[in-house]
């Protein structure tokens, strides 16, 4: 993940282009001499990467750190893959290397510089991993590159060596004429994925920016013209929505594997995305959703960034209460970008909203774990028990819903004059562009209140920090909608399982007395195959498509060894929500809805206080100095307390 020291950040963007225009390399490397890395791809069959790191002259003792986490909010201890470490001075004489911690080593006698070499096993597939195999190499560099603890902000140069014949290299890093890639710091280096292999490349210009598209997949599984057409629309929709393009070039990097596929990873100047090939053949829906999400992250989380994630601490968990915003709001934006791009229509959007409400309401933990707590607990997502519905909610799921409800709340408070778009643009202008990080939820609240001139403390207290039931209908009324609760008969497989990004699919719970239990399924079993297909991203869809009475076939491995299990799927009643029209939708509600679905404020006359309050909800809060200076605990009646009974 990315981190620039705040004051450095704007200068970096200027530098970026200047360097590109062939300013001598030394001009930006005066302060600290560069650290250079040579990454050897000589052993793809063994997935072994050899790294040679050259340290310039400096301190006699140099501490080297390999990050314990990267790309996922999970400690994965990449040091487990380091086979050996050794060091020499410039004349080839051995220097002592002493492990200090599992992920930290100390080189001694390095005052005249040192060459550190180590071998690391790299076979973590997907956009969150680092992998070398005979097909390709894909690296999140933080997973394979140690950094000198005293020189993390030094210029970094990287060269790939022993690249198999016929392979190309693609990365958003700056390339030097000699074939090196450079970055102005370690943080920037590791925010730049590297792909080496036999990929297809295309490019296009849009909104004044240049875009490279790298696809490593079977050409029968995708159509580059259709991909480019969708990317044009997504880029245009997102940049016009944010009224900003904080880069000159950006890279989309795709893999479409036939097996399990992992999702997407955001970077400041690129994204790496993996989508199952069968899903790609069926439609571009998965492609446009993930792409819009990751592209929006270049603002939200990469540049509009919570203070709690800065500076990145690669040695331990970085706790933040802001992922409901950084991830969930990005999911809300993903939908809006697709709506604006004509890639999603109202019917599908409302179906998505109903499904998100259903997902949250079905988890008993929505009454015990807040959106902020779910963010803080992200680091437990590698553990299967944590995913149980009584233990946790998803900050993606509740965060997206909070994004939608906050949008409706600021529209209501401002009589349609502002929307989520203005909130996000305010954060971009006042935090990102000024090189500031925002103060987690309080920073979001500050932005929402600044643009709406309303006190929104109730929203953040009840629904962001708190676990109050969200009265969906009170929010949805302003756009002529309601959430209708229905009971559906649902297939019940008798167990729950979760798949953690690129990890295996683990059984987290088995219902007692169920057919699954009788068949011998156990908590902790790893699902290898589901209905004869390898377990992966699409397994969830397969489970969702089951009907009561269907036969479910699983191949699992666990305490009792590898087994093939088979049982009949049961049935249970489940609460679900559909978002539908109110019986009578007024012209005002229709106008508000049309603006909401475009992600835009309504074109109404400037604030005068003359407009009557809409349908019994909160009137405009005059932006007097007193209102602006109200503390976070000021008492103010909220629209949703007074706007009728909560949703069932």
> Would you say 216 or 327 has its CB closer to Zn ion?
327
d(CA 326, CA 309): 11
CB of 444 to Zn ion, least distance (A): 16
Length of the chain: 648
DSSP sequence for 553-598: EEEEEETTEEEEEEEE-EEEEEEEEEEEE-SS--HHHHHHHHHHHH
> Would you say 397 or 589 has its CB closer to Zn ion?
397
> Would you say 185 or 326 has its CB closer to Zn ion?
326
CB of 493 to Zn ion, least distance (A): 28
Query: Site residues (CB under 5 A) for Zn ion?
Result: 327, 330
From the CB of residue 284, how many other CB atoms can be counted at a distance below 10 Å? 18
> Would you say 153 or 330 has its CB closer to Zn ion?
330
> Would you say 103 or 330 has its CB closer to Zn ion?
330
Eight-class DSSP state of 618: P
d(CA 78, CA 70): 9
| C-beta separation of 276 from 257 below 8 A | yes
CB of 298 to Zn ion, least distance (A): 11
CB of 332 to Zn ion, least distance (A): 11
> Would you say 267 or 391 has its CB closer to Zn ion?
267
d(CA 485, CA 648): 7
DSSP sequence for 282-315: H-SHHHHHHHHHHHHTTTBTTTB-BGGG-S--TT
**Cα-Cα end-to-end distance for the chain:** 41
> Would you say 110 or 272 has its CB closer to Zn ion?
272
CB of 394 to Zn ion, least distance (A): 12
Residue from 207, 209, 254 nearest 227 by CA: 254
> Would you say 320 or 330 has its CB closer to Zn ion?
330
Half-sphere exposure for 128 (CA within 13 Å, toward CB): 16
Integer-rounded Cα Rg, in Å, for the chain is: 26
> Would you say 110 or 427 has its CB closer to Zn ion?
427
E strand or H helix at 137: strand 136-139
CB of 296 to Zn ion, least distance (A): 8
From the CB of residue 25, how many other CB atoms can be counted at a distance below 10 Å? 17
> Would you say 327 or 492 has its CB closer to Zn ion?
327
What is each CA distance from 633 to 162, 629, 630, in whole angstroms? 62, 11, 8
What is each CA distance from 208 to 232, 247, 459, in whole angstroms? 12, 10, 38
CB of 289 to Zn ion, least distance (A): 11
> 203: which strand partners?
212
> Which class for 390: exposed (0-12), middle (13-18), buried (19 or more C-beta within 10 A)?
exposed
Residues contacting 610, CB < 8 A, separation 6+: none
> Which class for 626: exposed (0-12), middle (13-18), buried (19 or more C-beta within 10 A)?
exposed
Residue nearest Zn ion, Cβ-based = 327
d(CA 249, CA 171): 11
> Would you say 277 or 298 has its CB closer to Zn ion?
298
CB of 327 to Zn ion, least distance (A): 5
> Would you say 105 or 296 has its CB closer to Zn ion?
296
E strand or H helix at 347: helix 346-362
CB of 294 to Zn ion, least distance (A): 7
Tokens read off for 120: 């690391």
Tokens read off for 248: 């000159």
From the CB of residue 170, how many other CB atoms can be counted at a distance below 10 Å? 20
> Which class for 285: exposed (0-12), middle (13-18), buried (19 or more C-beta within 10 A)?
middle
Q: What are phi and psi of 581, to 5 degrees?
A: -60, 145
> Would you say 327 or 525 has its CB closer to Zn ion?
327
Handedness of CA 25, 26, 32, 36 (dihedral sign): positive
> Would you say 187 or 327 has its CB closer to Zn ion?
327
> Would you say 171 or 394 has its CB closer to Zn ion?
394
Separate counts of helices (H) and strands (E) for the chain: 19, 29
Tokens read off for 182: 């450079």
d(CA 232, CA 203): 11
d(CA 590, CA 309): 40
d(CA 591, CA 18): 47
> Would you say 274 or 327 has its CB closer to Zn ion?
327
């Amino acid at each position: 993940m990315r981190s620039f020291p705040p004051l450095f950040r704007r200068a970096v963007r200027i530098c970026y282009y200047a360097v590109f225009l062939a300013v001598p390399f030394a001009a930006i490397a005066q302060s600290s001499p560069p650290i250079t890395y040579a990454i050897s791809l000589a052993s793809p069959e063994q997935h072994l990467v050899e790294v040679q790191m050259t340290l310039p002259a400096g301190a006699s003792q140099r501490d080297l750190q390999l990050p314990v986490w990267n790309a996922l909010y999970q400690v994965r201890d990449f040091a487990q893959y380091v086979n050996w470490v050794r060091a020499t001075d410039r004349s080839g004489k051995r220097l002592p290397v002493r492990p200090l911690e599992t992920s930290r080593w100390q080189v001694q006698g390095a005052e005249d510089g040192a060459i550190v070499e180590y071998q690391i096993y790299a076979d973590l597939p997907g956009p969150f991993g680092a992998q070398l195999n005979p097909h390709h190499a894909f690296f999140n560099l933080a997973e394979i590159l140690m950094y000198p603890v005293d020189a993390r902000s030094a210029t970094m140069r990287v060269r790939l060596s022993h690249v198999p014949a016929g392979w190309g290299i693609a990365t958003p890093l700056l390339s030097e004429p000699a074939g090196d890639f450079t970055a102005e710091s370690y943080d920037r280096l590791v925010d730049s994925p590297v792909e080496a292999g036999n990929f297809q490349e295309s490019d296009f210009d849009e909104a004044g920016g240049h875009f490279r598209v790298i696809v490593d997949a079977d050409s029968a599984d995708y159509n580059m013209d259709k991909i480019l057409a969708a990317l044009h629309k997504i880029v245009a929709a997102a940049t016009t929505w944010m009224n900003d393009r904080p880069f000159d070039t950006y890279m989309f990097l795709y893999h479409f594997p036939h097996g399990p596929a992992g999702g997407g990873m955001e970077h400041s100047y690129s994204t790496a995305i993996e989508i199952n090939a069968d899903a790609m053949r069926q439609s571009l829906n998965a492609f446009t959703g993930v792409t819009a999400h990751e592209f929006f992250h270049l603002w939200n989380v990469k540049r509009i960034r919570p203070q709690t994630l800065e500076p990145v601490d690669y040695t331990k968990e970085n706790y933040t209460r802001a992922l409901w915003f950084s991830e969930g709001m990005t999911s809300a934006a993903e939908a809006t970008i697709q709506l604006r791009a004509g890639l999603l229509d109202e019917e599908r959007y409302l179906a998505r909203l109903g499904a998100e409400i259903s997902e949250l309401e079905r988890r008993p933990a929505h009454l015990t774990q807040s959106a902020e707590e779910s963010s803080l607990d992200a680091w437990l997502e590698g553990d299967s028990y944590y995913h149980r519905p009584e233990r946790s909610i998803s900050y993606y799921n509740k965060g997206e819903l909070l994004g939608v409800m906050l949008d409706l709340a600021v529209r209501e408070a401002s009589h349609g004059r502002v929307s989520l778009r203005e909130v996000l643009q305010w954060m971009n202008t006042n935090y990102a562009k000024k090189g500031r990080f925002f103060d987690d939820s309080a920073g979001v609240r500050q932005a929402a209140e600044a643009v709406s001139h309303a006190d929104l403390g109730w929203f953040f207290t009840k629904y962001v920090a708190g676990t109050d039931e969200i009265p969906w209908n009170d929010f949805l009324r302003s756009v002529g909608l309601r959430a209708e609760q229905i009971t559906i008969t649902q297939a019940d497989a008798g167990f729950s399982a979760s798949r953690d990004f690129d990890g295996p699919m683990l059984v987290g719970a088995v219902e007692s007395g169920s057919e699954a239990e009788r068949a011998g399924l156990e908590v902790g079993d790893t699902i290898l195959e589901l209905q004869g297909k390898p377990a992966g991203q699409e397994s969830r869809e397969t489970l969702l498509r089951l009907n009561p009475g269907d036969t479910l076939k699983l191949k699992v491995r666990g305490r009792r060894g590898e087994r093939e299990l088979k049982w009949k799927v049961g049935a249970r009643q489940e609460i679900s929500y559909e978002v539908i029209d109110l019986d009578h939708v007024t012209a005002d509600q229709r106008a508000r809805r049309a603006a909401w679905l475009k992600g835009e404020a309504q074109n109404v006359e400037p604030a005068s206080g003359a407009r009557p309050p809409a349908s019994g909800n909160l009137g405009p809060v005059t932006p007097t100095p007193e209102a602006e200076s109200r503390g976070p605990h000021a008492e103010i009646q909220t629209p949703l307390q007074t706007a009728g009974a909560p949703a069932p």
